[in-house]
Amino acid sequence: MVLIRITYLLFALILTILTYVYFTRNYNYWKKRRVPFIKPTFFFGSILEIAFGRSHPGLFIAKHYWKFTGSYFGFFAFTKPYLVITDPELIKTVLIEDFNNFSNRYFHCDEKIDPVMSNGLFAIKNPTWRWLRTKLSPFLSLNKIKHMMANIEECDRNLHNYLEDNLGKNVETKEMSARYTTDAIVKYCFGISANSFINEDGFRLAGKKMLGQSFGRSLIVFCYYYATWIVKLFKFQFIESSAVDFVRDAFENAYCQREANNGKVKNNDLIDILIDLKKQNLEFNGFTFSRENLLAQAVTFFSSGFEAAASTLAFALHELGVNQDIQEKLRNEIKTAVVTHDELTFNAIHQMKYLQMCVSETMRKYPAVSFIHRECIDTYKVPGHELTIEKGTPIIVGVYGLHYNKKYFPDPEKFDPKRFNANNIHKIINCTYLPFGDGPRSCVGQTLGLLIVKTAIIHILRNYIIEKNSFTTEPIILTPFPIIQSKGGVPLTFRRLESAF
Ligand code: HEM
């Protein structure tokens, strides 16, 4: 009996030692390479506080950004070593100059587990990515977007009716913004009216399911970035299948109707571009424009676009609500533009300098995507440093850390649009301001995203006064989710402007 107990004990001891050795086997990886690193703890590595939702990933990286003074530092996600680059010159090298060696995101999406996400522009690997981006970029060209203005009018009307119904009340502005950006992107991509202010079960619900903040969804997103082995083990899909199914039905309907029209009705939207691409029977590296791969692009544009734009819009409205002087100055600029131009065209909006400054400063203070990631494709010697990055290493650029670095943006907590005026904008060091990323793989929807955010702000300031209310928190507390969110939402009150214009 005693012998059996001792055997059990020995077995448990050996198992514990083996587990410990297995999970800590890499923990001197960065030390060996003389790279400063965030101390790991058993099993979780350095990311315990993100894993338990105690820190926003962007904030977590930022906190250490400010602690380490060199050009880079390392950390461990479970056993995997990650490299965070902090020096703007090195960021430029990775994102732009040596892009070919860093052209993929560190985002492992298995085609067998998630065929839709893995074949979309966001996740697909180079060289197929480059080919696909060239084919899809015309859809988001300046010329096409200029024609978007007519579509936006319908979205403005829906927003207007919603605000009229909620005058003087506490409005959850993030939700309102998400409904507006959902309507705008669905109209622009699919030519469909989503009517998210009335129909909460349609695209809005699909969007919530795609990027909602439920515990399960946050966990899956976390695993995609930090624990791909868990994704593989449990076959997690990045986007919930019921949300994909909803977009599939809507996409198929629109696609079939358009095909049935035999090209007679052209909306110049994503559907038209995709129909044209399908007709050409193109093939690259095994990738074809099959129906499923067309859907992948539709889902990618929808999911990548509406949340980032909604977050930017909501935070811009928050800052205008808590900074009445800035709100008034911006309203005056808009009034002047309305008086000068008969119609608010794309060009007229583009010329509103103070509006651009306010939106730019919003994206500095609240970058929708708080960190950018790339994968080192081939072993790479870092120019001017002793470090050699091994093939397969995830590289992180902490956008939040850069935007809140006092060296680049003094008094970073202050909302100060003047940072982006004509005198100051050229002082911003390259690759320290990255709301849309940088280099060939930066955001393809930047112009559209900015237009949607700006048109909503213009419409609101022409008709309403934005005010903070007793629920408004200042400063905003961020929640632990990759796309930046505010803990208590973005509560604000809207009152009718006496002399709406
Ligand atoms: C204010 C709004 C937006 C912000 C702040 C934003 C931000 C970003 C960022 C930071 C990235 C990653 C860039 C990188 O890795 O270097 C990205 C990628 C991307 N965004 Fe946006 N985005 C916005 C709007 C949109 C819109 C409206 C669309 C489409 C309709 C869109 C589609 C995409 C796609 C497809 C990618 C992946 C591009 C590729 O890998 O080639 N985004 N976005």
Give residue-wise pLDDT tens across range 196-255: 999 989 999 999 998 766 778 888 888 898 998 899 899 999 988 999 999 999 999 999
Beta strands in 110-269 (DSSP E): 171-172
Give residues with Cβ within 8 angstroms of 2, minimum separation 6: none
Neighbours of 341 (CB within 10 A): 13
Q: What atom of ligand 1 comes closest to residue 313's alpha carbon?
A: 1
Residue 375 CA to ligand 1 center (angstroms) comes to: 18
Tell me if residue 31 falls in helix, strand or coil: helix
**In the structure, which protein residues have their CB atom closer than 6 angstroms to any atom of ligand 1?**
121-122, 133, 185, 300-301, 304-305, 308-309, 312, 363, 368-369, 372, 435-438, 441-445, 448-449, 453
- Which residue's CA is the closest to the ligand 1 atom numbered 19? 443
Return the closest-CA partner of residue 301 out of 144, 458, 176, 407: 144
* pLDDT of 31 over the 90 cut: yes
Q: At what angle do helices 446-463 and 173-190 cross, to 10 degrees?
A: 130
* pLDDT of 143 over the 90 cut: no
Return the closest-CA partner of residue 458 out of 160, 167, 119: 160
- Annotated binding residue at 431? no
- Which residue's CA is the closest to the ligand 1 atom numbered 11? 443
CA atoms within 13 A on the CB side of 433: 18
* pLDDT of 372 over the 90 cut: yes
* pLDDT tens string 437-449: 999 999 999 999 9
Position 483, amino acid: I
Position 388, amino acid: T
User: Bigger pLDDT: 483 or 72?
Assistant: 72
- Which residue's CA is the closest to the ligand 1 atom numbered 43? 443
Q: What atom of ligand 1 comes closest to residue 124's alpha carbon?
A: 40
Residue 499 CA to ligand 1 center (angstroms) comes to: 37
Residue 442 CA to ligand 1 center (angstroms) comes to: 7
Q: What atom of ligand 1 comes closest to residue 450's alpha carbon?
A: 1
State the pLDDT confidence band at 263, using cuts at 50, 70 and 90: low
For 262, counting Cβ atoms within 10 Å of its Cβ (0-12 exposed, 13-18 middle, 19+ buried), the class is: exposed
* pLDDT of 67 over the 90 cut: no
Q: What angle do CA 312, 322, 177 make, to 5 degrees?
A: 30
Strand-pairing partners, residue 398, are 371
- Mean pLDDT of all residues in 30-39: 96
- Which residue's CA is the closest to the ligand 1 atom numbered 1? 309
What pLDDT was estimated at residue 18?
80
pTM value? 0.95
Pocket test for ligand 1, best of 443, 451, 455, 457 (most atoms within 8 A of CB): 443
Residue 204 CA to ligand 1 center (angstroms) comes to: 19
- 459 phi, psi to nearest 5 deg: -60, -45
C-alpha span between 266 and 363 (Å, rounded) = 34
DSSP 181: H
How far is the CA of 495 from the CAs of 125, 168, 313, 492, in angstroms? 48, 6, 18, 10
Return the closest-CA partner of residue 190 out of 92, 294, 287: 294
- Mean pLDDT of all residues in 100-117: 92
- Helix (H) / strand (E) element for 195: namely none
Q: Calculate the CA 290 to chain-centre distance.
A: 27
Share of the chain above pLDDT 70, in %: 99
Q: What atom of ligand 1 comes closest to residue 369's alpha carbon?
A: 10
Query: Residue 281 region, left (φ>0) first, then alpha (ψ -120 to 50), else beta?
Result: left
Residue 19 CA to ligand 1 center (angstroms) comes to: 40
> Rg (Cα) of the chain, in Å, rounded?
24
Q: At what angle do helices 173-190 and 203-211 cross, to 10 degrees?
A: 110
What pLDDT was estimated at residue 482?
66
* pLDDT of 354 over the 90 cut: yes
Residue 445 CA to ligand 1 center (angstroms) comes to: 5
In this structure, are residues 317 and 490 in contact, taking their beta carbons and an 8 Å threshold?
yes
Residue 419 CA to ligand 1 center (angstroms) comes to: 23
Residue 306 CA to ligand 1 center (angstroms) comes to: 10
Which ipTM was obtained for this model?
0.99
- Which residue's CA is the closest to the ligand 1 atom numbered 4? 308
Tell me if residue 131 falls in helix, strand or coil: helix
Tell me if residue 197 falls in helix, strand or coil: coil
Q: What atom of ligand 1 comes closest to residue 181's alpha carbon?
A: 27
- Mean pLDDT of all residues in 481-490: 84
C-alpha span between 339 and 330 (Å, rounded) = 14
* pLDDT of 3 over the 70 cut: yes
- Which residue's CA is the closest to the ligand 1 atom numbered 17? 443
Q: Calculate the CA 39 to chain-centre distance.
A: 28
- Residue in the structure block whose two tokens are 């430029």: 92
Q: What atom of ligand 1 comes closest to residue 440's alpha carbon?
A: 41
* pLDDT of 265 over the 80 cut: no
- Residue in the structure block whose two tokens are 């970029």: 137
Query: Residue 268 region, left (φ>0) first, then alpha (ψ -120 to 50), else beta?
Result: left
Q: Calculate the CA 332 to chain-centre distance.
A: 31
Pocket test for ligand 1, best of 95, 187, 300, 304 (most atoms within 8 A of CB): 304
In this structure, are residues 382 and 90 in contact, taking their beta carbons and an 8 Å threshold?
yes
C-alpha span between 381 and 198 (Å, rounded) = 55
Return the closest-CA partner of residue 472 out of 484, 490, 494, 457: 490
Neighbours of 137 (CB within 10 A): 12
